[in-house]
């Protein structure tokens, strides 16, 4: 029997998939076939796995999807030209350029080239700005959007709570903090954003009602950092060596799950917590991009 305080990310992602499938059917009934296009540059093995998973789940939900695979040496101008064609294609509703990109390509320039209305990853400066302004017409990056849904759908009290976000990355930490500090009954948290230069990180963590770890350091959040009863969200994906594993390594999160789970109010398993929600929000965003055409 799994512990009772686990947040079932897979189950909640499945609920969202069911809702998304109904929206896809409604679009199809109106003659619109939602379509998500992935662009992958090079042969990064993790990117291949991530894009493959997202593509399979898209198809399962009835969203058409294709992947453009470009060679590692692709010039930035070639990638920008492809994005320009996809921006102009009326049948493409969402565009996702998978990070990391090779060194010769400026990721910021690439994400800024995607039309904001097709930027289902939420990385375009217009969407980043809308998030900060509390303008819900933009796309929110999928991982923080998924964590927000996990908190809402488990009836976690966000309003008035002390939230500590570990990590100020542009993909998770910063947008997470921006979402939860909004003046809205769905947010209204007091948010502290910690990073590698934070002087009193431990003390901040110890008073968090909700602790969100997104730093990419294996098992960083130990029991002594967590207030008993706190909600703990583990975003990290870290490969550590494990001689007993078939390929000599395995993936672990940023939270020392075995020691934190017994004192946490609720906690995400890892895997099976945040990861499935990231995909669920990507597909929900894609359908929203297609729905915008019908208004
Ligand atoms: P990132 O952009 O590299 O940001 C990492 C942040 O962690 C930085 O702000 C860094 O501080 C901070 N940090 C690193 N070491 C630290 C330490 N010892 N103490 C305090 N802060 C520290 O990473 P990211 O893209 O946000 O990703 C974070 C993690 O989430 C990674 O493990 C990634 O694989 C995972 N992730 C998971 C999903 C999912 O769907 N499950 C999605 C996206 C990312 P500085 O700014 O001071 O350098």
Tokens of 86: 């996809």
Tens of pLDDT along 21-75? 999 999 999 999 999 999 999 999 999 999 999 999 999 999 999 999 999 999 9
**Taking CB atoms and a 6 Å cutoff, what residues make up the pocket around ligand 1?**
143, 166-169, 171-173, 195-197, 201, 214-217, 235-238, 274-275, 278
261 catalytic residue (yes or no): no
C-alpha closest to that of 179 among 125, 216, 127: 127
- Cα–Cα distance list, 208 to 64, 117, 150, 153 (Å): 42, 35, 17, 20
| CATH class entry, domain 32-118 | alpha beta
- The domain ranges of the chain are 32-118, 142-275
Distance CA 130, CA 216 (A): 27
Which residue is catalytic, options 8, 118, 119, 121?
A: 121
Render pLDDT for 171-182 as a digit per residue (tens, 0 to 9). Answer: 999 999 999 999
Under a CB-based contact definition with an 8 Å cutoff, are residues 166 and 215 in contact? yes
Cα 162 to chain centroid distance, Å, stands at 22
Task: Supply the mean pLDDT for the chain.
Answer: 97
What's residue 201's pLDDT? 98
Q: Between 3.40.50.720, 3.40.50.300, 1.10.150.120, 3.40.950.10, what CATH number should domain 142-275 receive? A: 3.40.50.720
Ligand 1 mutation target, pool 145, 196, 225, most atoms within 8 A of CB: 196
- Longest CA–CA span in the chain (Å) reads 56
Asked if the model's pLDDT at residue 295 lies above 80, the reply is: no
In this chain, the answer to whether the domains covering 32-118 and 142-275 adopt an identical fold is yes
pLDDT in tens, 225-279: 999 999 999 999 999 999 999 989 999 999 999 999 999 999 999 999 999 999 9
Q: Please, is 264 exposed, middle or buried when counting C-beta atoms within 10 Å of its C-beta (0-12, 13-18, 19+)?
A: buried
Protein residue with least CA distance to atom 16, ligand 1: 196
Stretch 198-220: mean pLDDT, rounded?
98
Phi, psi for residue 40 in degrees, rounded to 5: -125, 130
Query: To the nearest whole percent, how much of the chain has pLDDT over 70?
Result: 100
Active site residue 121: yes
pLDDT value for 280? 98
Q: Is 188 left (phi over 0), alpha (psi -120 to 50) or beta?
A: left
Instruction: Identify the CA nearest to 166 among candidates 138, 131, 206, 110.
Output: 206
What tokens does 195 get? 């990073």
pLDDT tens-place string over residues 213-223: 999 999 999 99
Give the Å distance between the CA of 235 and the centre of ligand 1: 9
């Amino acid at each position: 029997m799994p512990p009772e305080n686990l947040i079932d990310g897979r189950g909640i992602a499945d609920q969202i998939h069911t809702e998304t499938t109904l929206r896809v059917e409604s679009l199809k009934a109106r003659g619109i076939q939602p379509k998500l296009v992935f662009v992958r540059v090079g042969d990064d093995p993790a990117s291949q796995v991530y894009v493959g998973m997202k593509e399979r789940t898209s198809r399962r939900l009835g969203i058409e999807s294709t992947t453009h695979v470009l060679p590692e040496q692709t010039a930035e101008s070639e990638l920008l030209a492809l994005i320009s064609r996809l921006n102009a294609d009326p049948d493409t509703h969402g565009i996702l350029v998978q990070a990391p990109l090779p060194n010769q390509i400026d990721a910021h320039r690439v994400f800024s080239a995607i039309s904001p209305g097709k930027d289902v990853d939420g990385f375009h400066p217009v969407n980043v700005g809308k998030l900060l302004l509390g303008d819900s017409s933009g796309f929110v990056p999928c991982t923080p959007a998924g964590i927000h849904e996990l908190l809402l759908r488990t009836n976690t009290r966000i309003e008035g709570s002390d939230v500590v976000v570990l990590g100020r990355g542009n993909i998770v930490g910063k947008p997470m903090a921006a979402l939860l500090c909004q003046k809205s009954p769905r947010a209204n948290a007091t948010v502290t954003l910690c990073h590698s230069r934070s002087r009193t990180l431990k003390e901040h963590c110890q008073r968090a009602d909700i602790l969100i770890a997104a730093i990419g350091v294996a098992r960083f959040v130990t029991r002594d950092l967590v207030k008993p009863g706190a909600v703990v969200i583990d975003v990290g994906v870290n490969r550590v060596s494990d001689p007993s594993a078939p390929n000599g390594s395995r993936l672990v999160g940023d939270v020392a799950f075995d020691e934190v789970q017994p004192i946490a109010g609720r906690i995400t398993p890892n895997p099976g917590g945040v990861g499935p929600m990231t995909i669920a929000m990507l597909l929900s965003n894609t359908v929203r991009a297609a729905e915008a055409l019908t208004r």
